[in-house]
Structure 1
């Protein structure tokens, strides 16, 4: 399963978890925290799973650094889980 999260409208973790819960079948008891996300990815969600974050700003890289680290740890633990992230692209104005 491929899940795409567009960071254009994400300002904080609450926004992130709202989008994640819309796109990924998480249990009702899912807690909006990194431990719950790690537990879900490493044991509860259907695999294979690829999370792709698009349109991240440089500021969001800093804000969500713990999220990226948590997902890197999950990737190291679970063979069928991958994720990637991409910075937003700016077009040159001429």
Structure 2
């Protein structure tokens, strides 16, 4: 991915949390969390994640799996974005 098209403030090589099911393209990314305490990104499928399914990969890999996450690249710290299905519009709100 060319640097001029990179939409996240974070660098492409930062580690983010996702699931093996998302990496294997079995389940779509349906929620994105931008943690307030440490700035960590989580790209999840909207279900409870068990420790055995969680995995760290680069932000660039997540964008390559589903580039629609670029639509929430400006998600503030402490906010969550979600959608009903892949291709649907992202909704956002504070994690309060």
TM-score by length of 2: 0.27
Rg (Cα) greater in structure: 1
Per chain length, whose mean CA-contact separation is higher, i.e. which structure has more relative contact order (CA < 8 Å, sep 6+)?
A: 1
Choose between structure 1 and 2: higher helix proportion.
1
TM-score by length of 1: 0.28
